[in-house]
Amino acid sequence: MQNAERMMPSDTEPTAEWDQLTRTIHACVRCPRLHAFRERVGEEKVRRHAEEDYWSRPVAGFGDPDARLIIIGLAPGAHGANRTGRVFTGDASGEWLYGTLHALGYASQPTARHRDDGLTLRDAYIANIVRCVPPDNRPTSAEITACAPYLAAEMSLLKNARVYLALGGLAFAQTLRFMQAQGLTTADRLKFRHGLEHPLTDGRQLLASYHPSQQNTRTGRLTMPMWEAVFARAKALTDTSEPHVGTPSAGDSQKS
């Protein structure tokens, strides 16, 4: 796995499961609309990146396979991750995310500009619920469902996970669906709100934050103190929540 290999702590070897999962994600063409759109974005580009080759493929998760903190976003940014090939890399949302992860000791550097910039994560892993950039940042329900097995497969490999932090309402709803399918929550519904904390039945925690999109950060809906407070709480919970017993099965999770 390109990302996980690079992120492996020194005492951890990449596994065949991660490699296979990443190859499968990178080759996926399950959603015709998104397949066409991700390639079109890379052909049309934007002026500031006109000289660059866009990734324009599905973007796999990135981080430490032994992570206790799992961050779940929505989808690659058109000229961010869809360009660079690494989650939250190359756009303003990534500046918020990696800056904060660096301040808390999870990231080796505060910036994420391209996939070969040397950035590493320790004790944190980042994934999106949809691996291809959607038009207007709005995947359809069918596309979210089609991509769900990839998140489920990652969850099954992230055996040390203790805190799941979902960024934005769609990521939160999909993560909650996964937890429901696994029997990890008895809640039928939970209303998304920034700062929400939901204890799972096995002692782990589900948290929610507004997504650091410019739509939120430029309007003041999400301020840096609000954002940092959620991450500080997530970090505190990773140290105090119970290690889980048993590992979610990717097959079961596809029910979500």
Binding residues (CB under 6 A) for ligand SF4: these are 25, 28-31, 34-35, 58, 130-132, 143, 146-147
CB of 115 to ligand SF4, least distance (A): 17
Q: Which is nearer to ligand SF4, 25 or 176 (CB)?
A: 25
Q: E-strand spans in the chain? A: 62-63, 69-73, 124-128, 163-167, 197-199, 205-209
Q: Which is nearer to ligand SF4, 140 or 160 (CB)?
A: 140
Q: Which is nearer to ligand SF4, 38 or 198 (CB)?
A: 38
CB of 238 to ligand SF4, least distance (A): 28
CB of 28 to ligand SF4, least distance (A): 3
DSSP at 54: P
Q: Which is nearer to ligand SF4, 21 or 34 (CB)?
A: 34
CB of 26 to ligand SF4, least distance (A): 8
What is the phi-psi region of residue 56: left when phi exceeds 0, alpha when psi lies from -120 to 50, beta otherwise? left
CB of 3 to ligand SF4, least distance (A): 14
Q: Which is nearer to ligand SF4, 82 or 182 (CB)?
A: 82
Cβ within 8 Å of residue 137, ≥6 positions away:
74, 75, 213
Vertex 232: Cα angle to 227 and 237 (nearest 5): 125
Cβ within 8 Å of residue 173, ≥6 positions away:
192
Closest CA relative to residue 3, chosen from 78, 101, 74, 81: 81
